[in-house]
A and B are shown apart, each in its own frame.
Chain A
Amino acid sequence: MTDSITPLQRLLDALHDAGVEFIIVGGVAARAHGSSRLTDDLDVSYSRSPGNIARVVQALASLDPYLRGAPPGLPFEWSDRTLHNGLNFTLTTTAGALDLLGEITGGGGYADLLPHCITVTVFGRETLLLDLPHLIHVKRAAGRPKDFEVIAELEALREETERR
């Protein structure tokens, strides 16, 4: 039988249940704004405050987080100290891929992104989402050729939204 809770919802629920301060950015944010693209990972900007780092660790502990692409068996301790000593983490979890971003190119950290967020209700929970103009801004700032098609679609979405 198919589980009615999708992996994406499991990830978001885990973060919400632990009270993590986070903002959805990246492909899932693009999808939320109307993009037709599919994405396999959830990108979130998270607050780097010690309290929030502890909540992130607690939130994901039961989802077996591990460094995505790292050789199996590589020692990796999921702890406050690990998060404190790092910044951006690309993780695999039992609920799917998750990118924890302390900073994003052209956007800065969680506090820098807050004024550029909207509050949306997703899976019944109030969630912060990077707004469309700033999503375009950070994608442009990243300057990666692989993002050209994405930026084009986001700009088309902005035009479509402004026409409505």
Chain B
Amino acid sequence: MYDIQNVAAVVRECRAAAWLTQSELAARAASSQSGIARIEEGSANPTVRTLSRIVNAAGFDLRVTLVPRPAPDPVIERYKQDVDRSLLRENLRRTIDERLRSLADWQRDSRALQQAVRAARVPT
């Protein structure tokens, strides 16, 4: 079972199960290779009709199941009040690659800082 937010996995898995390339699936689904690639990368959000056409083209049917969401956890809800959403919104404006490059830069700078602090502690 797949989460509806993870359309990428639905397309990727049905294509893999049918042993099709992105171009082959695109041809069968009257789509384009770049269109399939964008869905698999999570950067395109197809309609249910389009998704159904794509999985049909790979030899599958699309079924939708309703699953109750877990009840909100009061502890987590309390913690959520303190989340700085302005930072999250700022991050969501970036691509995933930009977010991870930023993390990598922060990690490198943090290590440089830690080394500087260690060096400062060494008695002369």
Contacts and interface: CB of A to CB of B under 8 A. Distances in A.
B100 A28 contact: yes
A149 B7 CA distance: 28
Interface residues of chain B: helix, strand, loop or mixed (majority): helix
Contacts of A155: 76, 80
Given A28-B100, A119-B41, A155-B80, 18 more contacts: A6-B104, A7-B107, A36-B88, A38-B107, A40-B110, A115-B1, A118-B41, A123-B97, A123-B101, A129-B96, A131-B3, A131-B8, A140-B73, A148-B75, A149-B82, A151-B79, A156-B83, A156-B85
Interface residues of A, number: 43
Contact of A116 (B6, B83, B107): B6
15 contacts: A6-B108, A7-B104, A7-B111, A36-B91, A116-B2, A117-B6, A118-B8, A122-B96, A123-B97, A149-B82, A151-B79, A155-B76, A156-B83, A157-B88, A161-B92
B89 interface: yes
A149 B84 contact: no
A152 B106 contact: no
A39 interface: yes
Given A8-B103, A8-B104, A155-B80, A34 B40 contact: no
A131 B9 contact: yes
B61 interface: no
A120 B42 contact: yes
Nearest to B75: A148
A16 interface: no
Given A40-B107, A118-B41, A156-B88, A34 B99 contact: yes
Interface string A123-151: 10000010111100000100000001101
Interface residues of B, number: 41
Contact of B88 (A9, A116, A153): A153
B80 A160 contact: no
A118 B6 contact: yes
A133 B1 CA distance: 13
Nearest to A120: B96
Nearest to A38: B106
A114 interface: yes
B87 A31 contact: no
Query: Nearest 6 pairs between A and B by C-beta?
Result: A152-B79, A6-B104, A36-B87, A8-B104, A34-B91, A152-B80
B91 A164 contact: no
Contact of A152 (B83, B89, B99, B110): B83
A39 B3 CA distance: 26
